[in-house]
Amino acid sequence: MRHYEIVFLVHPDQSEQVPAMIERYRGMISAGGGTVHRLEDWGRRQLTFPISKVHKAHYVLLNVETDQKTLTELTGAFRFSDAVLRHLVVNMDEPVTEPSPMAKAAQEEKEGGPRARREDSFGGDDDDMGVNA
C-alpha cells in the first residue's frame, strides 16, 4: 500500500454535508484495507480565483495509506460528486501524522496566542546590506 495526501474542495452551499462526505470517504478507505493517518477540516476559505463562479470553498485534507483500487474508487467518487469542486491526490513517501501549517495556525488563533513572527533573514545589522548611516 502507498501513502497519499488528498485535498478536496466542496461547494460552499454543501458545507453541511462535509461531515457525512468525510465519513463516506473514510469508510471507503477502511473497507479497502487502508488507514487514515491525518484528517483536517479547514473549513470555508476564500479561493484564489473563482471556480464555476464560486469564490469560496470548504477545504478538507486527508493523509491516507491505501491501495490503487481504493484510490481509483475514491477519485471516481470525487469526479462524480457535484459537491466536490476540485480534488488533488499527491503520492507521499511516508505517512504524515503531524498537523499541517494550516491546522497549526488555526490552533494558535483559537488559543489567542500571538502568531509566530518571521525573523529577519538579513540579521540585525544595517552593515550587511552596505547601508552607511
What is the domain extent for residue 82?
2-95
pTM of the model: 0.75
List pLDDT tens digits, range 9-60: 999 999 899 999 999 999 999 999 999 999 999 889 999 999 999 999 999 9
Higher local confidence (pLDDT), 122 or 26:
26
Q: What average pLDDT does the structure give for the chain?
A: 84
27 assigned to some structural domain:
yes
Answer yes or no: is pLDDT of 118 > 80.
no
100 assigned to some structural domain:
no
- The predicted structure's pLDDT at residue 89: 95
22 assigned to some structural domain:
yes
How far apart are the C-alpha atoms of 27 and 20, rounded to whole Å? 10
Within 12-133, residue ranges assigned H as helices are 18-31, 68-80, 101-111
How far apart are the C-alpha atoms of 22 and 70, rounded to whole Å? 15
Asked whether the beta carbons of 7 and 59 are under 8 A apart, the reply is yes
Q: How many domains does one find in the chain? A: 1
